[in-house]
Amino acid sequence: MATPVKVYGPAMSTAVSRVLACLLEKNVDFQLVPVNLSKGEQKKPDFRKIQPFSQVPAFEDEGICLFESRAICRYICEKYTDKGNKGLYGTNPVARASIDQWLEAEGQSFNPPSSVLVFQLAFAPRMKIKQDQVVIKQNEEKLSKVLGIYEKRLGETRFLAGDEFSLADLSHLPNTQYLVTTSGRGELFTSRKNVGRWWNEISSRDSWKKVVDMQNKGA
pLDDT digits (tens, 9 = 90+) for 39-96: 888 999 988 999 999 999 999 999 899 999 999 999 999 999 999 999 999 999 999 9
Task: Report the interhelical angle of 206-216 vs 14-25 (nearest 10°).
Answer: 140
Taking CA atoms, 168 is separated from 88, 96, 120, 174, in Å, by: 9, 10, 25, 12
Whether the CB-CB separation of 109 and 153 falls below 8 Å is answered with no
Angle at 101 between CA 142 and CA 158, to 5 degrees: 85
Q: Which pTM value belongs to this model? A: 0.95
Nearest CA among 79, 67, 82 for reference residue 35? 67
pLDDT digits (tens, 9 = 90+) for 177-202: 999 998 788 999 999 999 999 999 99
What is the rounded CA–CA span in Å between residue 32 and residue 60? 11
